Amino acid sequence: MQAVDLTTIRAAAAELRQLWIPARVEKVIQRDRYTISLALRTFERRGWLDVAWHPQAARVCIGSPPPRTPDTFTFSDQLRHQLGGFALTAIENLDPWERVLDFQFAKRPGDRLAWHLYVEIIGKYSNVVLTDADDRIVTVAHQVTASQSSVRTVETGQVYEAPPALTVSVPKLSESFASWQERVSLVPGAIKRQLLKCYRGLSPNLIFLMLEAAQIDPNASTASLNGSDWERLFILWQEWLNRLEESNFEPGWTASSYTVVGWGIVTPVKDLQALLDCYYTNELNQQEFKQSRHQLLQKVGSLLKKLRVKADNFRNKLKQSDRADRYRQEADLLMAHLHLWQPGMKSITLDDFETGKPIKIALNPEKNAVQNAQLLYKQNQKLKRARIAVEPLLAEVMAELNYLEQVEASLSELEVYQNPEDLETLAEIREELISQAYLEASQHQNRANKNKESSPHRYISPSGFELWVGRNNSQNDRLSFRTANDYDLWFHTQEIPGSHALLRLEPGAVPDEKDLQFAADLAAYHSRARQSDRVPVVYTKPKHVYKPKGAKPGMAIYKQETVIWGRPQMANLYQN
């Protein structure tokens, strides 16, 4: 993830000054642990200013409206109390070469300054600090005590101090080419590293774009550069400084990220605020997606492992109970041949009543024949009771296994983050596992909008019919028991965990064989058997699909089904 550097901060602040000064603060809402949103209103527009102190994505930009979820954070509550109804009158750079912005607030434009909101965008040390007009700290997003830092503390009640400045040189337009080249090349080393070490205000991404525009290898040694290399680089260096001085920026998307200086642009944009909001929202969503998916897969995998061990234990007990009839048979034989028993016998061989074949019966030499028979009868009863007790337990474990395998199949399908819908689908799976008591609810893991339902995959069949495929158990239930009508066809892999698929049909419409095959192929693809060549898929009318009483999400039974063989490998052709 590309960190917000000084150049981006200067560009974002310049655009905010132009469009949002002055503006009245109508609301303050904290989106999450690291982001507050200020509702600003001017004569021309209304928007939400996001101020984030995230360790990898600290930033300020106009973003989307925050989710309608309860705000229980103390920091935002204090900001609401102090800034509500005040006007944002200025946005200043605390130091032209430091990544700290000073948002200034007054009762109304032209009045005496009342509040400073200092936004420190300095990587993992990022912070947001509210002070009064005399710079005394009122509240802070993250307090830094003396035990945490010996360099600088940030606590309520003390006077605000800016972060310590870097000791390297400040870039100047007035510096000559010879002086600049001498400073950068004084100690031979990779050009990208020397630029970063010699001057303030630079970032690795900015240096990479500058060197790429100058057609210089970032790892090239300063000693290997010729005169023309230095001249091309110096021209770009001065172009950067001119952009900073004149607030003349060119934002746009590059091949891998974004820029505000015009170098490496693939797609130019006019709205820098929208660019920053889009980039960091997407990056943070990807980060959250990876972490959440990994956690859920680990949890489900751990549960499945334990359940499989439990199922194996129950099966072994049932195998042992298969000997119940054998014990009864041996006891009956022994009682019928008591006269053949002799004291001290450790075993006795008797002919079976039905087959006549000899059966060897183990005996306890310390007990007589009747007592040995009684032991065999007791063992018979014990194993019969075990079977009666174990069979429902095994059935319960198998139902739980089937359910969690279905969840695991849904998670396996969500391999990479593509859009916010993927994150919403993961959130639904997490909520489902919480509702089923497999996970504990976390205080800060609230979905953006609990009233919003994620959408299934949608495809178009060869004849133009829509095929809807569930992405998790919540969607599967909605498709099968809420969305489906009498004319649709319901598809599912036969006895294999997978998604519910619904071929949407209008009254009187009859799908062709190619439509049925299309639906079967995609149902097979969205299942645990997607790596197989051929997968049995059943389809039937939705009215023949039922949810057993007390069944877990996504579980269903069906009847009057027809089997068709799905080809998962064909799904890639359909998606292209």
Write b or e for each residue in 57-96: b if 16 or more Cβ atoms lie within 10 A of its Cβ, otherwise e. bbbbbbbeebbeeebebebbebbbebbeebbbbbbebbee
Closest of 487, 496, 491, 507 to residue 456, by C-alpha: 491
Alpha-carbon torsion 422, 427, 433, 436, what sign?
negative
Task: Using alpha carbons, list the distances in angstroms from residue 404 to 318, 474, 553, 555.
Answer: 23, 14, 10, 11
Question: What are the beta bridge partners of residue 206?
Answer: none
* Least reliable range by pLDDT among 66-75, 128-137, 320-329: 320-329
Largest CA-CA distance found in the chain, in angstroms, rounded? 121
Q: What is the mean pLDDT of residues 246-268?
A: 94
Q: What is the mean pLDDT of residues 394-414?
A: 91
The yes-or-no verdict on residue 355 having pLDDT over 50 is: yes
Instruction: Yes or no: say if 61 and 276 are a contact pair by the CB < 8 Å rule.
Output: yes
- 236 vs 321: CA distance, rounded Å: 83
Q: Calculate what percentage of the chain has a pLDDT beyond 90.
A: 75
Closest of 472, 464, 466 to residue 500, by C-alpha: 472
Token pair of 23 as six digits:
């503006």
pLDDT in tens, 136-169: 999 999 999 999 988 899 999 999 999 988 888 9
Instruction: Yes or no: say if 472 and 424 are a contact pair by the CB < 8 Å rule.
Output: no
Position 511 scores a pLDDT of 93
Crossing angle, helix 369-413 and helix 272-321, to 10 degrees? 160
Question: What are the beta bridge partners of residue 361?
Answer: 348
Q: Which phi and psi (to 5°) does residue 252 adopt?
A: 180, 170
Position 70 scores a pLDDT of 86
Position 449 scores a pLDDT of 45
pLDDT in tens, 490-501: 999 999 999 999
Three-state SS for 468?
strand
The yes-or-no verdict on residue 450 having pLDDT over 60 is: no
Closest of 314, 332, 325 to residue 381, by C-alpha: 325
- 147 vs 164: CA distance, rounded Å: 18
Q: 3-state SS of 116-144?
A: EEEEECCHHHCEEEEEECCCEEEEECCCE
DSSP 104: E
pLDDT in tens, 191-240: 999 999 999 999 999 999 999 999 999 999 999 999 999 999 999 999 99
- 12 vs 471: CA distance, rounded Å: 38
Rg (CA), the chain: 36
